[in-house]
Amino acid sequence: MDKVITSQHLKQGLAALVLVVLAAGLRVWPLQTMDSELAWLTFYPAVIAVALYAGFYAGLLATALACLTVTFLWPLIVTHPFIESRLDLLEMAIFAVICGFISFLVEAVHRNKKALKQAESEWLASTRREQFIRSIVDGVPNMVGYWDRDLRCRYANHAYYEWFGKSPEEIVGIRFQDLTGEALFALNEPHIRGVLAGEPQRFERTLNKASENVGHIIGHYIPDFDAAGTVKGFSIQASEVTVLKETEAKLELAACVFENTLDGVMITDVNGIILSVNPAFIEITGYGAEEAVGRSPRILHSHRHDQVFYASMWEEIKTRGRWNGEIWNRRKDGNPYLVRMTISMVRVVDDEPVRYVSVFSDITELWRKDEHIKHLAFHDALTGLPNRNLLMDRINQKILHFNREQCSLALMFLDLDGFKRVNDQFGHKVGDDLLQTVAERLLALVRKSDTVARVGGDEFIFVLDNPQGKDEIMVVANRVVSLINEPMDILGEVIQIGASVGIAMFPADAGTYVDLIKNADTAMYAAKASGRNNISFFSPENDFKKA
């Protein structure tokens, strides 16, 4: 800063010195013959030029240099003296005063010009700022306006024009109630009184637009105070939140569905950490929200599925974005349950997963009913033994197995001797209990690969898998007859019955399920014809009459 000032002073002094010397030179030559009344004529332009060029202080310096020159240097250069009388001193004084005044005027003009230029620059900058701010305010989607204490609009942005369907000329200067209408003004009046009392206001309102659409806004009234602290007006900012309200309504609906659906819902992050569960999840699994949130869904694993199952499930989720199927889980109390589940991947714009949503329903009871129906379709309702349908399926499977690997079957057809007498004497309840006891005794004899089935009222079939000849078959058949012959305590009654057994062998006696049962039935009637409580192998040569 000091260097700048010194350079400026040197510049002013050099300018003053040069012009004064030039003026003195002109006065010495060629103007020395001019009348002495015009002696100062050459110095006035020099001072004015210096003042115009370098400013007020340079003009004063030039004036002083001119006076010094004519006073002290002039006698050394020119024989004719410049100052000869008091009048000359007066002229020099007048010159000094006039030059000082001229320098002052030049400086004043220069300052005024500079001030005007600066004011113009500031005005332009202020105008640009105002235009910039106005463009921003006009560009925002929110309604922004200003109202004075008389409730007349002093400013409104472009959003006002769009909302009310009026031009700027129609809105600026309009009364509040004329713009909004009496009904809306009545709703806003309490807030207007509040803001004019100096209290900021916030409220929500549903309005009709000029386009006849319904819009939802959040309004703010902000008081404007003068220097004395008096409210001179208030600004309005009204934000349209119609889309947000619609989104909020959709979210509320989704939350209502989430809370009230009978299906369990579990939301996890990409790392598989549970973020949220609904009440149905709590009811189905037994885990409370505070117990599940923050943990892994592995708390539900039943360990009934292997890693291959889960790997396949997640591969489908990654490739298709969704998996649905049935899976066994485990409740908090340890009981397993079967669910029908859909797991969906929630993606963002760049297709990266952000959430996984699992929706499931407990189908354990349906599964049990289905299993019960399947059981009834293939099992005898009274004894629980396989029925004719399941027996046929198992025998056919073994026959098909024979085509791949040599094996044999022995089919024993059992008919209870004396069962009709028990029914007639003791009633059907005792008869049913007797059949159940017979079934239990037969089950005690079978191996894992053997089958015992009930195919009629008192008829049973015992399938011996891959026996080692007739001797083994005969041993099993004798055990069957002996076990059935043992007395039974049924509902307080001691009952003893017998059994006739007919045996047919595969593939020796028959090649199909139907023929195998038919031949075993024929052998059974042969056993009954021999005196009942007997065992008979099928023989095509035997000709007998069914008993």
Helix (H) or strand (E) holding 426: helix 419-426
**Residue appearing with tokens 């007349």:** 152
Alpha-helical (H) ranges within 172-306 are 176-180, 182-196, 242-260, 279-285, 289-292
Class of residue 246 by CB neighbours under 10 A (exposed 0-12, middle 13-18, buried 19+): exposed
Mean pLDDT, 10 residues at a time, the chain of 547 residues: 53 59 55 49 70 70 71 61 67 74 76 82 78 74 87 87 79 88 88 93 77 76 91 88 77 84 92 93 94 93 92 92 94 94 85 89 90 84 90 87 75 92 89 92 88 91 90 92 90 88 90 90 89 87 48
Q: What is the reported pLDDT for 545?
A: 42
Distance CA 302, CA 323 (A): 19
Q: What are phi and psi for residue 442, nearest 5 degrees? A: -70, -40
Task: Go through the chain and tell me how many residues it has.
Answer: 547
Distance CA 158, CA 142 (A): 9
User: Which residues are within 8 A (CB) of 123 and not within 5 positions of it... i.e. 6 or more apart?
Assistant: none
Reduced to 3 states, what is the DSSP secondary structure of residue 225?
strand
Q: What is the reported pLDDT for 1?
A: 46
Distance CA 479, CA 468 (A): 16
CB 443 within 8 A of CB 493: no
User: Which residues are within 8 A (CB) of 380 and not within 5 positions of it... i.e. 6 or more apart?
Assistant: 386, 387, 439, 453, 454
User: Which residues are within 8 A (CB) of 183 and not within 5 positions of it... i.e. 6 or more apart?
Assistant: none
Distance CA 71, CA 264 (A): 114
| Residues linked to residue 328 through DSSP beta bridges, in sequence order | 338
pTM of the model: 0.52
Peptide bond into 30 cis (omega under 30): yes
Q: What is the reported pLDDT for 210?
A: 60
Q: What is the reported pLDDT for 26?
A: 52
Q: Which domains does the chain have, with CATH numbers?
A: 2-114 (no CATH), 140-245 (3.30.450.20), 263-367 (3.30.450.20), 379-537 (3.30.70.270)
Structure tokens of 33? 């013959």
Distance CA 398, CA 392 (A): 10
Pairing of strands 143-148, 322-330: unpaired
Distance CA 179, CA 535 (A): 110
CB 236 within 8 A of CB 219: yes
Q: What is the reported pLDDT for 314?
A: 92
Q: Which amino acid is at 199?
A: E
Q: What is the reported pLDDT for 309?
A: 93
275-278 own/partner pairs: CB under 8 Å, 24+ apart:
275/355
Distance CA 411, CA 517 (A): 7
CB 523 within 8 A of CB 536: yes
Distance CA 508, CA 516 (A): 10
